[in-house]
Amino acid sequence: MNSIDLLLNRQSNPLLTQPAPSSDDLHNILSAGMRVPDHGGILPWHFTVIEGTGLDKLSEYFVNAVKINTDDEAKIEKTRKMPFRAPMIIVISTKYREHKVPNQEQLVAAGCCAHAMQMMAFSLGYGAMWRTGDLSYNNSVKYALDINFNDDIVGFLYIGTEKKHLPTKPVKPYEAHVTYLK
Ligand SMILES: Cc1cc2nc3c(=O)[nH]c(=O)nc-3n(C[C@H](O)[C@H](O)[C@H](O)COP(=O)(O)O)c2cc1C
């Protein structure tokens, strides 16, 4: 896939299975995450790569977090299954630095990491889906993943092999979202 096709036709795929990215492919995915625009060169992000038994651990962390607020078995069961929607998850979190660059910009840079890694995954022929949800904002999950309460989980990037290739979604016209100053 060339870069123009990638940028014009990128789309998520929630239907993912084994195999996960190989170690060479993971290297390229993580390297793409490091290559983003970064005001001040302060690297205000952290990536947690989860696969194999790590997915079981994440499932346990999710379940422990929801059990704090509910004993609804259906919700707990649904939560337990969530990490198994792909063979690999990369958690992208901020690592806010004390710096003149405001946290808002550091958060945007970490968001760019997630996007860049997703684009590299697509380039390498994998499917991927960027997810957040309540558990991204949950201190129990952050604690279990060794993420500071003051930092933000920008996303759980689910990556794997597409179970089926989805039809390309229609183009979204940009005209209503653009003005010109000439
Ligand atoms: C920060 C962020 C968080 C997201 N969280 C979720 C999520 O929790 N669940 C979900 O179904 N989609 C979520 N999405 C949207 C999907 O990743 C995806 O972009 C959306 O389904 C549209 O599909 P497309 O990427 O093919 O255009 C999130 C996107 C972003 C940027």
Would you call 18 exposed, middle or buried from its count of C-beta atoms within 10 A (0-12, 13-18, 19+)? exposed
Backbone angles phi and psi of 125, in degrees to 5: 95, 5
The count of other CB atoms within 10 Å of the CB of residue 116 is: 20
Q: Say what the alpha-carbon torsion angle 139, 143, 145, 150 is, to the nearest 10 degrees.
A: 60
Atom of ligand 1 nearest to the CA of 130: 17
- Note the pLDDT of residue 97: 98
Q: What is the Cα gyration radius of the chain?
A: 18
Separation of CA 129 and ligand 1 centre (Å): 7
Looking at ligand 1, which atom is closest to the CA of residue 169? 26
Within 10 A of 65 (CB to CB), how many other CB atoms are there? 19
pLDDT of residue 53: 98
Q: Which residues line ligand 1 (CB under 6 A)?
A: 11-12, 129-133, 155, 169
C-alpha dihedral sign at 112, 32, 58, 149: negative
Where the chain has pLDDT below 50, the residues are: none
CA of 134 to the centre of ligand 1 (A): 14
pTM score > 0.95 for this model? Answer: yes
- Ligand 1 pocket test target in 12, 79, 89 with most atoms within 8 Å of CB: 12
The CA distance from 138 to 65, in Å, is 7
Query: What is the reported pLDDT for 1?
Result: 78
Q: What are the DSSP E strand ranges found in the chain?
A: 16-17, 45-51, 88-94, 127-131, 153-162
pLDDT at residue 28 in the model: 98
